[in-house]
Structure 1
């Protein structure tokens, strides 16, 4: 028996983004677990594919009850294909519990790569994204949302998250208050669809634009916090600690000097501190 759970990314809007492997999987899987069975059948029809396996719904409200049966299907040698409405399963969509359950049973799990709003938005954002974090959906209420934004105040990585269109303006207004209006970002709307739109600018500019309202699926990218330049006096304590551990003063100053602060500036700051 060669059962397997297969996670497959589905198009976010443009049907032609579907991979040939997705077409084959839809046509041959023994079981298709779909977040919305109607949308999955419509997708298959648009791709010219006939689903021959059993189709079952697998969304948040039924995930717990459906899970044991799907795990048993895999254990009994069946191929279970998991798809959501758009993008990659388990990324803010149903899926991770099923993956975890199969992993716990030591059952095969694989993935058919494909469209993802997260990576698409990062690529289009225009801000540095060599390192990034994904935060799903922000809290709905202002207090918890501001607390979440506080955690990003010094976060050096770019942050990408989803937001409901009717909460976007409030979220960006809070971001201006907490993170400052000068931090850059991008709001990506309806990615790969007919009315795709990417708004780039400072948080202040994006917040002003969002006041008029936005529609569709929203993905937001925030620039990471920029490093704060060190001051010579901020490095004095580190130097003194090294000296206390046996280092020569000049060597310690050289060790803690940065691109923005020379070892001479550090040395003079240490001498000044010792005179006070």
Structure 2
């Protein structure tokens, strides 16, 4: 039979040990359980927003079957996605390649977001859905739409003017058959642009005044024109679009003057060199 003192000592040990163990277990459950709950809640939120993005892409996918453009799907996109859903996914979709029309004058209307007249490629939509499902766009969800689309308002406006020139002028021009170095633009093409837009594209127009973008038959090469528009969209032509025309022409005039002076100098040097050669030849004969 166990002594009463030993029983009392055992009781005393458990009296402080049990609360310690239960407190430790409770803390562990609270810590890991809370962490698991927060992670589960976050994953559920991400899965929900991924499904919103896929929902939007499936709308475009349906239109791709009928060879429609993104502009044709504008109404259904704005109808099937509410404002909250669009706020969650539009920036991510734009970064994936969905051509939302960035406002250059008016403020962004989230209830009626516009899309560009660009043909929908079914394979591209499928690739976008894969990227969404893999979670590669999770950090782009819930980005503020207004600040994203308006932060580079002037940049987007200038690039749009450059694209407008390529689409409405350069792609409709042709090479004069009687003079292969002459590009004929559409008649009265300048009337399609405001005075401010004209000043924006003058330097770009000078740089595009070559035959590289035309086929052997004198008509524009559609593949090269498409590549040129893409280059403008990603900013490769920004230097020319933002270059002041007067400064550009001033530098060009200085360059031409330097060439004239150099050519004149070379022409003056040639007779002198010939005279020196003759003198040297006569000296050798003597």
What is the TM-score with the length of structure 2 in the denominator? 0.29
Q: Which protein has greater RCO, CA pairs closer than 8 Å, 6+ apart?
A: 1
- Identify, as 1 or 2, the structure richer in strand: 1
- Identify, as 1 or 2, the structure richer in helix: 2
Larger radius of gyration: 2
What is the TM-score with the length of structure 1 in the denominator? 0.30
